[in-house]
Structures are given as structure tokens and as C-alpha cells.
Amino acid sequence: MILEKRKKRKDLNAAAVAAAAGREAGEAPIKANRITKEYLGGQVVALDDVTLEIRENEVTAFIGPSGCGKTTMLRLMAGLEYPTRGEVSMYGQQIRGPGPERGMVFQAYTSMPWLSVFDNIEYGMKIQGVPKEERRARAEHFLKLVHLDDFSKAYPAELSGGMKQRVAIARTLAQNPDLLLLDEPFGALDAQVTWEMEEMVIEIIGSENKTVVLVTHDIQESIYLADRIIFFTRQPGKIKEDIAMDFKNGKRFARKEELLSQPGYVDMERKLYAMMREEIQGRIS
Amino acid sequence: MSSMDERATSAQGQGKAPKFIPPRERFLELRGTISSKWAIILGILGMIAFFAIWEGGHYITPEAQQRFLPSVEQVIGTIVQLLSEKDYFSDVMISCYRIYLSFFAACALAVPLGVFMGCFIRLRALINPTVGGLRYLPAASFVPLLLVWFGPTDFSKLALLFLGCVFFLTALVLDNAMAVPKELIESAMTMGAKRRQVVFGVIWRAASPAIIDSMRNMIAISWTYLVIAEIVAATDGIGAVMMRGGRFLHVDIIMGGILTIGILGVLTDIAFRLVRRTVVPWAYVRRG
């Protein structure tokens, strides 16, 4: 039993060492190389020969109409699905399954209902065999970071949707991933809570320095959070455009309204709406 | 100025707000609300109505046939008499022992099997068609087979009760395990959980309230098989007592047996609810 645990830690360490080596060598955090993903034996082509690279410490947003393969691409990065052709690699290592170095926040609520908020945040670290002292300290840190210190003993069923997603974000950060994958994390929340959560994400990205990939269908959200937006077309999913958020001059705004008065914002939003309309109407007609 | 005052404003109001009396709920209010006190009172009223109909049925029956529908007090009197004179209590205990032993043996097989089938698609493909088919076989049809194999032994009765619920329970637990949200499993996997941790740490834990419910529903079915199991060549147990009563047209004994099983069933149900509350308290947590 103990030997087994040790071996597991060693495996995890081996993955971490390989990742560190790849990072030293200048490999991208994620590289998707000529990815094609087909469903129903080729009847649906979710992704068609897509190549892209995620850059270190950047927030990349995937956006596009429903069914454009943006979530599929994220799930391939998480290792929850496999490509039909091509390969996804992390720091040069081919991704062959999920792992704790790629933390994911889902749109659906994924807190374990039998664990308290605190235990939920500790859960990932427990699986990885992080020693108890360190686990507690880190859980407390992230609990504060998502402003849930008063709810540490509550069960998920007692929390609002926004709070549940904050638990999910804290838990994912606590497992100390190199890459944070967010799959429409605020899709089920109402507008005002979404807005609060977006500002919290900006705050966290600033303090934790993570490479983030965000899937969203919300144009404003993508402009606010991302340093770079990759726009996908619908079936077959291809990259329509890879757009740098240069108008922000590398700034991240603590308050969303600051973004609205930034020169170039309106043009960016108009551009994305136009692209979205083009995609949707191209389908309907 | 005065006309300004009369205009509706959105400022904080002054003086008393108008009194609002909500409409009274009708007896058949759609999805209405009920206090726990009234829920209990209505529940007891329902039971009283049941016994009143039974009692009324006894009194409108012509006197010559009245012994085929004994009154409530006659049946209760018969139970008391059986308990004090015929050692009915040991019959009840033997029936309970048969039910619980066979049921927990069935659980010991069906629950892990159902959970594993819910976790592993190849196990499901291997086992489910067979188990699914076996559900359609009426338990009573096993009686002659079990008698030939094991004779009129205690074991053949236990085996019948076991067969009566093991296949259904497997199918129910399989559904419970498969109902665990995919995202819960996937999020554990992105946290580094290995297969064993997903099976025992996530699927088993998440499905356990539903599994306890399945067990509670299944033990009720198990009670319904009791009489079939004890009809054939049984000398003890509630079913045997009832069969003996039937042979001499003692309807009061038959109905006493039915009433006993009903009471034991209700007690079992209550016990399961209590166990569920202690084993998975988190399943009762609600917001607000």
C-alpha cells in the first residue's frame, strides 16, 4: 500500500520533471498539432486539421458559434477525449489522458456533494498525496482567495451557483496545475454573478500567474478576460481568426467598466459580433 | 403640490403598509403546503378510514358468512392469542431472519456487481443481458426447482427470497451508478484520480443515497415473496402459520398474518430511512 503510494507520487513527479524539462527547452505549454476530431464515424467533423499553440502565462479564449468544436479542443487538452488524427502535447509530452497538471473547471457543478467546501478544496491534493500540513495551508489560502472563508464547513448543496463555481476554481488552483482549463465556467450563472466571477478570475490570474485556456460563447467575457482570442468556425471546426487583444496594451482591468472606456474596445466587440453573425448566417441560408 | 403627493413615488413608504391576507389553501390545492402536524393527522385519518372500511365490511356481511371477514378486533385478538398460546413470536422471528439474511446476501452480491457494471462498460456488456433477462423469471417458478435441489429445507426458502430480489437489485444499482454525473467523474480524473479512486471515491460515494433507496424498495418486494417461500413444506414462519390457518378456514389467522407482515414492512421501511439519514446525512442538506 505504502509502496503503491510512493510509486504514484513518483509517477506524478516524473510527469512534473518531464514538463519542467520541456519548459526549459522552450516548448509551448500546449501544442495542438493538426488535430482532427470526428464523431459518429466521420458524419460530424468537430475539428478539421487544426494547429495551435497556447503561450505561457497567457489567457487564451476559444470563442465561436455553438457546435464549433471549441469545447472539444479544450477536452482534448484535458485528455478527456482523444483526437481522431494529430496530437496534442504539453511541454513536448504527448497528452494521453487526464492529469492533475491540467486542472479543469466545468460548466456543470462538480463539487463532491458529500464533502464540505474545505474538504472539496483539499480533495485534489489528497489524491495527489500532498502532506496534511501543506494541504491545509494551501486549502486555506485558496478558500480566502475565492472569498469563501465563512463557508468552509458548508456542504455544496447549501451554496449558490456562483459559490459552487468558486469552490471549483479554488479546488482546481489548489491542485497547482500548470494549465488552467475553463469550460464555460460561468455559463449557468446569472449576469451579475458572472460579472463578479470574471473580476475574481482577473484578480486570481494576476496573483497566481497561470496559463489559462477559456471556452466561452460570451463575446464581452472573452474580450475582458483574454490576452488572445481564437475564433472557431462551425462544422467543420477550423480557426477563423487568431486575434491578439493588442488594444489592451497588455493590461488587465480589475473592473470590467474600465475596459469599456479603453480605446479600441468597441471596435473589437463590433468585429467579433460581425464574425459571429457571419458564421451563424452562413449556416442558416 | 398636493397633486405631487398623490403621485406614486418609488421612495421609502411611510405609515402602515396595506394588510395582505393570502388566499386560503383549498383541500385540493395544487402542490400546496402542509404543516408536519397536519401531515401526521391526515396520515392517521387515512389509516383509520382503512380500518373503518374493513370493520364496516364485517358488519354488513350476513352473519353466516361473517367468519370469512372477521372484524379488526377479532384479528388483533387472534394475533394476541397466537402470541401468547402458539409461540407466534418465534414464527415472526424466523420469517424476519429469512427475509434479512437472504436480502443482505442478495445485497452483498448485487450492490458491488451493479456498481462495477456501472463503472466498466465491458463488464456491463458481459453481464447485463443475462441479468436483465433473469429479472423476467417469476420467483415462484423457482419453487419446484429449489424443492428438487434442496428439499423442503430452510436453505431452499432463503434461496427463493434471494433469487426474488438479486436480479432486480442489480439492475437498480446499475442505474444508480450510471446516474452519477459524468462531470463528477471527469473532474476527479483531471485532479489525478486513478481508476480505483474514481470507483470507490466518487461513483460509489455519489451513488450511495440512491443505492440505499433501491435497497429499501427491494426489501419491500422481498416481503411480498415471504408467503410464497413459506407456503411449500414449511412448518414455521408467518407464511406457514397462514397456510395452516387457511387449511381450517381460519380467516382470522390469515388476516392476522397479513397484518403482521404489513406492520413489519412499515417498521423495516422506517429503519431504512433512519439508516439512510445516519449513513448519508449530506444527501439531506438543502439550501436556505
Question: Per the domain annotation, does B211 fall within a domain?
Answer: yes
The residue among A80, A58, A270 whose CA lies nearest residue A183 is A80
The answer to whether the CB atoms of B286 and A171 lie below 8 A apart is: no
Q: What are phi and psi of A230, to 5 degrees?
A: -105, 120
Substitution target in B191, B204, B276, B284 with the highest count of A β-carbons within 10 Å is B191
- Average the pLDDT over A191-217 and give the result: 90
Question: Per the domain annotation, does B288 fall within a domain?
Answer: no
CA distance A137 to chain B (A): 18
In three-state secondary structure terms, B234 is: coil
Contacts of B275 (CB under 8 A, 6+ apart): B212
Q: Are residues B64 and B116 in the same domain?
A: no
Q: Are residues B248 and B161 in the same domain?
A: yes
What is the value of ipTM here, to two decimals?
Answer: 0.89
Whether A90 has a pLDDT exceeding 50, the answer reads yes
Asked if A105 and A188 count as a contact pair (C-beta separation under 8 A), the reply is: no
* The pLDDT of residue A284: 53
By CB atoms closer than 10 A (0-12, 13-18, 19+), residue A121 is buried
Question: Per the domain annotation, does B16 fall within a domain?
Answer: no
Q: Are residues B187 and B74 in the same domain?
A: yes
Q: What is the CA radius of gyration of chain A?
A: 19
The answer to whether the CB atoms of A99 and B192 lie below 8 A apart is: yes
Largest Cα separation within chain A, whole Å, is 63
Out of A98, A114, A172, whose CB is closest to B189? A98
pLDDT digits 0-9 by tens, B153-192: 899 999 999 999 999 999 999 999 999 999 999 999 999 9
In three-state secondary structure terms, A239 is: strand
User: Strand A211-215 vs strand A179-183: parallel, antiparallel, or unpaired?
Assistant: parallel
* The pLDDT of residue A164: 94
For residue A234, what pLDDT band results from cuts at 50, 70 and 90?
confident
Question: Per the domain annotation, does B14 fall within a domain?
Answer: no
Q: Are residues B42 and B153 in the same domain?
A: no
Question: Per the domain annotation, does B205 fall within a domain?
Answer: yes
Q: Are residues B150 and B241 in the same domain?
A: yes
In B, minimum Cα distance to A76 occurs at: B190
- Average the pLDDT over A218-223 and give the result: 94
Q: Are residues B58 and B147 in the same domain?
A: no
Per CB-CB distance under 8 Å, the chain A contacts of B206 are 112-114
Q: Are residues B56 and B137 in the same domain?
A: no
Q: Is the CB of A112 inside 8 Å of chain B's CB atoms? A: yes
Q: Which of B69, B93, B127 is the last residue of a domain?
A: B69
Q: Is the CB of A98 inside 8 Å of chain B's CB atoms? A: yes
Q: How far is CA A76 from CA A124, A183, A228, B131, in A?
A: 21, 12, 20, 36
* The pLDDT of residue B288: 65
The residue among A183, A173, A166, A167 whose CA lies nearest residue A115 is A167
Q: Percent of chain A beyond pLDDT 70?
A: 93
Whether A134 has a pLDDT exceeding 90, the answer reads yes
pLDDT digits 0-9 by tens, B224-280: 888 888 877 678 999 999 988 988 889 999 999 999 999 999 999 999 999 999 999
Q: What is the CA radius of gyration of chain B?
A: 27
Q: Which of B41, B69, B97 is the last residue of a domain?
A: B69
* The pLDDT of residue A2: 56
Q: Percent of chain A beyond pLDDT 90?
A: 67
Q: Are residues B111 and B140 in the same domain?
A: yes
Number of domains in chain B: 2
In three-state secondary structure terms, A247 is: helix
CA distance A125 to chain B (A): 8
- Mean pLDDT of all residues belonging to chain A: 90
Per CB-CB distance under 8 Å, the chain B contacts of A160 are 287
Per CB-CB distance under 8 Å, the chain B contacts of A104 are 186-187, 190
What is the spatial distance between Cα A79 and Cα A32, in angstroms, rounded to a whole number?
A: 12
- Mean pLDDT of all residues belonging to chain B: 91
Q: Are residues B243 and B166 in the same domain?
A: yes
Whether A8 has a pLDDT exceeding 70, the answer reads no
Q: Are residues B178 and B129 in the same domain?
A: yes
What is the spatial distance between Cα B193 and Cα A180, in angstroms, rounded to a whole number?
A: 17
Q: Are residues B146 and B118 in the same domain?
A: yes
Largest Cα separation within chain B, whole Å, is 102
Question: Per the domain annotation, does B4 fall within a domain?
Answer: no
Question: Per the domain annotation, does B22 fall within a domain?
Answer: no
Asked if A272 and A229 count as a contact pair (C-beta separation under 8 A), the reply is: yes
**C-alpha cell at position B14:** 411611510
What is the spatial distance between Cα B207 and Cα B213, in angstroms, rounded to a whole number?
A: 10
Q: Are residues B54 and B190 in the same domain?
A: no
The answer to whether the CB atoms of A102 and B190 lie below 8 A apart is: yes
Question: Per the domain annotation, does B20 fall within a domain?
Answer: no
Substitution target in A7, A82, A142, A155 with the highest count of B β-carbons within 10 Å is A155
What is the spatial distance between Cα B238 and Cα B262, in angstroms, rounded to a whole number?
A: 12
CATH number of the domain within which B136 lies: 1.10.3720.10
pLDDT digits 0-9 by tens, B199-225: 999 999 999 999 999 999 999 999 988
Cell 485558496 sits at which residue? A142
Per CB-CB distance under 8 Å, the chain B contacts of A142 are none
Per CB-CB distance under 8 Å, the chain A contacts of B193 are 127
For residue B232, what are the domain limits? 70-283
